[in-house]
Structure 1
Amino acid sequence: MDTLLTQLPALLGVLVGTLGTILATSLADRARWRRSQSVRWDERRLDAYVAFAHALKESHAVALRMTADLRPGSYSHPIDRDEGLARLAESDGRRTIVWENLLLLGDEPTVVAAANWRDAIWQVERLARGIVDASQDISEMLTRVNEARDVYYRAARSSLGVRGGSVEQSAALRQALLSRPSATPDGRMAADDG
């Protein structure tokens, strides 16, 4: 019995050490698994953000080409109305699919910013489709599109933890617009998206 009592502190030390090792390993594995899951979802979130931006830019580019004749001095290459409507229909299908991914994976500020950008582009599309008349101020519409895009990218970058300063384009596009030599017949400057 004396031998057991003298060895008891050593046995307790081994037991405590073993339990500590098991606990530390378990906590480390759990932290590694959480990091792995975070990276996995961040990659998918990035893919959803990029796919949505591409789909919107595709729709917007077609709408710009369809409205090129409304913007003297536009850099957009005009497109036949029937071809433009067909392309808008195709891009609308793609945009709908990537929107669902964005809703599933995006955080709230990014989804709200995406919806605002989409709605701004819809206004230009409505003009291209002839749903609203050409008396609408297209320069103002395009400014809203550019500003909404900046808000979307700011929200997406924040969601993904991307650092590196501002990548906003609307101010530069507005400045480039003001420096163009051509203006619309009513004195407003022609506008294009960057």
Structure 2
Amino acid sequence: MESVLTQLPALLGVLVGTIGTMVATTVTERARWRRSQNVRWDERRLDAYADFTRAVKEIHLVSLGMLSGHRPGSRTPTLDREDGLARLAEADVRHTLTWEAVLLLGDATTVRAASTWRRAVRNLEQAARSLPTPPDNLAAMVGQADEARDDFYQAARDGLGVGGGTVEQFRRPVEGRIPTARH
């Protein structure tokens, strides 16, 4: 019995070491799994945002092409109404499908920004569909869509942890200066 008592500290040391190793391995594996999942979902989120961006930008550009004749100084080539309507219909399908992925994978801030951009571009699309009578506030509508795009890009970058400089393509008003959009 005395030999068991003398070996008890060594046995307890082995037991504590084994338990410590098991705990450390479990914690490490869980952390590795979480990192792997985060990378996986970030990649899917990036793909969803990029697909959504292409679809909304297509609707934006087609609408601007249809409205080009009503926008003084526009550099966008004028697009025939019938061709534009057909292209809008095709782009709408892609947009609807990509929107679902953004809703499913996006964080709340990015989804809100995407929704705002989507609404602003929808307004341009509706204006293009209502031709030959363009709205009086067409320049403001274009500015709203451009500003909403910048806000979406920033929210998506923040949500994905992408650093770097500004993504603004729309110049925000500064002390009474009229904003201009760069396309």
**Aligned pairs (5 A) from 1:61-140:** 61-130=61-130, 133-140=133-140
Alpha-carbon deviation of 1:78?
1.1
Decide whether the 8 Å contact of 1:126 with 1:132 is kept in 2: no
Counting aligned pairs with the same residue, the percent is: 54
Q: Corresponding residue for 1:184?
A: none
Q: Corresponding residue for 1:60?
A: 60
Evaluate the alpha carbon distance shift between residue 135 and residue 13 of structure 1 in structure 2; reply closer, same or farther with a 3 A threshold.
closer
Q: How far apart are the structure 2 equivalents of 1:87 and 1:44?
A: 27
Q: Corresponding residue for 1:168?
A: 168
Decide whether the 8 Å contact of 2:67 with 2:134 is kept in 1: no
Q: Corresponding residue for 1:28?
A: 28
Decide whether the 8 Å contact of 2:68 with 2:78 is kept in 1: yes
Deviation beyond 4 Å, 4+ runs, structure 1: none
- TM-score normalised to the size of structure 1? 0.87
Alpha-carbon deviation of 1:141?
0.7
Q: Corresponding residue for 1:153?
A: 153
Indicate the larger mover: 23-32 or 129-138. 129-138
Write the letter of the residue equivalent to 1:124: L
Write the letter of the residue equivalent to 2:111: V
| CA offset digits 1:43-77 (Å, max 9, x no partner) | 11111111111100011111111111101321111
Decide whether the 8 Å contact of 1:64 with 1:192 is kept in 2: no
Decide whether the 8 Å contact of 1:142 with 1:193 is kept in 2: no
Structure 1: state its 5+ residue gaps: 180-190
Q: How far apart are the structure 1 equivalents of 2:129 and 2:101?
A: 27
Structure 2: state its 5+ residue gaps: none
Decide whether the 8 Å contact of 1:65 with 1:76 is kept in 2: yes
Evaluate the alpha carbon distance shift between residue 38 and residue 132 of structure 1 in structure 2; reply closer, same or farther with a 3 A threshold.
farther
Q: How far apart are the structure 1 equivalents of 2:59 and 2:84?
A: 10
Q: How many residues align?
A: 181
Alpha-carbon deviation of 1:192?
6.4
Decide whether the 8 Å contact of 1:52 with 1:102 is kept in 2: yes
Evaluate the alpha carbon distance shift between residue 132 and residue 113 of structure 1 in structure 2; reply closer, same or farther with a 3 A threshold.
farther
Q: Corresponding residue for 2:11?
A: 11
Evaluate the alpha carbon distance shift between residue 87 and residue 192 of structure 1 in structure 2; reply closer, same or farther with a 3 A threshold.
farther
